[in-house]
Amino acid sequence: MIGKKLGIQGLVLGVFCLVGLGCNQINVGFFRFQVINNTPYQIVHCSIGSDLWEAEGGPNLLNGPLGENEVFDLNVDEPGLYWLHAVLNYDEEKGGNPIAHTIGPVLMQEGNVAWSWYMDGQVVKQGTGPEDIYAVSNLPVVVIDTNGAAIPDEPKILSTMQISEHLLCAKGDIRPGGDDLSYDGLAGIEVRGNSSQTFDKQSFGVETWDAFDSGVDVPLLGMPAEEDWVFYGPWMDRSLMRNYFGYNLWGQLGYYAPRTRFVEVYLNRNNNPVVEETYHGVYLVTEKIKRGSDRVDIEKLGDDDTTFPDISGGYILEMQAPDQLDPGSVSIDIAGDFILAIEDPKPGKILEVQKNWITSYINNFETALFSPDFNLKLAQSYRDMINMDSFVDYIILQDLFKNRDAFRSSTWMYKDRNDKLTMGPIWDLNIILGYFSLNGFDNPEGWFLQSPKNDLPHSPWTDRMFEDPIFVQAYIDRWHELRAAQLSMVNMDGWIDGAMGQLSTAHARNFVRWPTLGKTLIPDINFIMFLGPHPDSWQGEVEMMRDWLHERAAW
């Protein structure tokens, strides 16, 4: 039996569990209590035993006092019934006496059981029941109720949604408490994603609705008012923060990046009011990419915009493989057997003459790019048709992240009226920073977007740009500039540390609900992403990601 406070390095157990691959399955179990301190006071002693007396007389397993919003992992050798004992240094500065708590017997099965202290008024409470574990949250709480309806891929179905910026009322009540609801109304909801739809923890597209099931702009969670939102549920990414980290870095470079907020979601789709059965874990609420003054701020194309210069923008495009194209989409064929889906104007809204104009623009860009001299002897080179600064920054960040999806899917760009083709916003970063195992993407060394990848093709645009000495020099100069500022380890570590602070206790509840730590998750034999090894703690996952980033940036 071991007890260890998980700090920067964490307790790491490498687990390599192959599922569904036609070989012997390896099962390595771990059994852990996650102690959550939601009080403003320190826990100064924690011990565990197989009976009451052993727990109360056991050695202190803490390396140091456990402060507010900190989590401590108690690892035990095997499942069974355990007693847990702790001493809380309750208001000692005001002359109060430390309070000892003993609880048990608590059944420990494979995975996690949470054990929480929290404040109810001036009284310290503790326990392992839902009224204890889910009594507080330092993140906004979102409750969605579909009134018994299953959530389809599409179309969106009616639901009610409530958001509280503070704590959740427990004791079987899944409604946010108090009078501080920042949203209390209707919403349309659907499952979103491609391969991620096979995950146990799904992501959702959410639209804020009025009483007539029509979209209504709402300043959700303090973000600018809009109606379209993405509720991204990190499941494979057990750091819970890769999208948050990448989006914010892109925004720091001076571009629009989808704004984000971490939340905890309660999802009631079976008319089930039981708290622990509706808790759905940590989500990242994100702005959906779309045209708008507070999102991709480009001109709107109308039916009258059929001649130059009005027809020159704005367009939002997404690079995809042809088999990713949604039915009914309008697209442009480009080099490397890829396509650019025209996301704005939407199918049914875009005129044929507008589609032909942007297609011609992209074709001319590719002709110039792949010409022997980049069209330098002609009136317009490829550099004249793109916002080269945005291409340089986008490629730097995607290659730093070693994002397997870059320039093959979820790669967005836009063209505004009287402006050049511009890269961004950055999107869908859940497998960056060493997560993808195959094709060398877990190796922090080696180029990605500078050379062809026959076994995992990406658009040849970037390969050709790196044959242009002017582009290469711009890339080198910008890399050194960014490494001294936004891409310094101090700045990047700051974003990771900030996310850790926000998720300081919510991660424990998330992994009680989704016991994925230390496991290889292969939801589909055709979707092998990360074979491991896997840390058996959230802190270990975060530090593994951080270490990979340090090695990658140094390389």
C-alpha distance from residue 288 to each of 277, 320, 334 (Å): 28, 17, 25
Tell me, what's the pLDDT at 166? 64
Kindly report the average pLDDT of the chain as a whole number.
Answer: 87
Question: What is the torsional sign of CA 353, 359, 365, 366?
Answer: negative
252 residue type, one letter: Q
Name the region of 337 (left: φ>0; alpha: ψ -120 to 50; beta: rest): left
Measured in degrees and rounded to the nearest 5, phi and psi for residue 42 equal -85, 145
For residue 201, give the H/E element and its range.
none
Tell me, what's the pLDDT at 169? 42
> Which has the closest alpha carbon to 241: 498, 536, 555?
498
Tell me, what's the pLDDT at 6? 29
Token representation of residue 289: 């990419």
Rounded CA-CA distance 152/149 in Å is 9
Tell me, what's the pLDDT at 92? 62
Q: Prior bond to 224 cis, omega within 30?
A: no
Token representation of residue 62: 């803490």
Rounded CA-CA distance 337/83 in Å is 61
> Which has the closest alpha carbon to 57: 32, 96, 83, 90?
83
pLDDT in single tens digits along all 555 residues of the chain = 333 232 222 222 122 222 222 222 333 467 888 899 988 899 999 999 999 999 999 999 998 999 988 999 888 888 899 999 999 987 766 567 888 889 889 988 777 888 888 887 788 888 888 778 887 788 999 999 999 999 999 999 999 999 987 654 433 444 444 557 889 999 999 999 777 777 889 999 999 999 999 999 999 999 999 999 999 999 989 999 999 999 999 999 999 999 999 999 999 988 877 777 889 999 999 999 999 999 999 999 999 999 999 999 999 999 998 888 888 999 999 999 999 999 999 999 999 999 999 999 999 999 999 999 887 777 789 999 999 999 999 999 999 999 999 999 999 999 999 999 999 999 999 999 998 877 788 899 999 898 766 667 899 999 999 999 999 999 999 999 999 999 999 999 999 999 999 999 999 999 999 988 888 776 544 555 666 678 888 999 999 999 999 999 999
For residue 150, give the H/E element and its range.
none
Rounded CA-CA distance 481/68 in Å is 39
C-alpha distance from residue 189 to each of 252, 272, 311 (Å): 31, 18, 34
How many whole angstroms from its chain centre is CA 27? 28
C-alpha distance from residue 479 to each of 425, 438, 484, 487 (Å): 19, 27, 9, 9
Name the region of 368 (left: φ>0; alpha: ψ -120 to 50; beta: rest): alpha
Give the burial class of 5: count Cβ atoms within 10 A of its Cβ; 0-12 exposed, 13-18 middle, 19 or more buried: buried
Rounded CA-CA distance 271/163 in Å is 19
Enter the pTM of the model.
Answer: 0.89
| N-term to C-term CA, the chain | 40
Question: Is the Cβ–Cβ distance between 361 and 314 less than 8 Å?
Answer: no
Rounded CA-CA distance 512/490 in Å is 32
User: How many residues are listed for the chain in this entry?
Assistant: 555
Tell me, what's the pLDDT at 3? 32
Give me the residues paired with residue 88 across strands.
Answer: 43, 99
For residue 48, give the H/E element and its range.
strand 42-49
414 residue type, one letter: Y
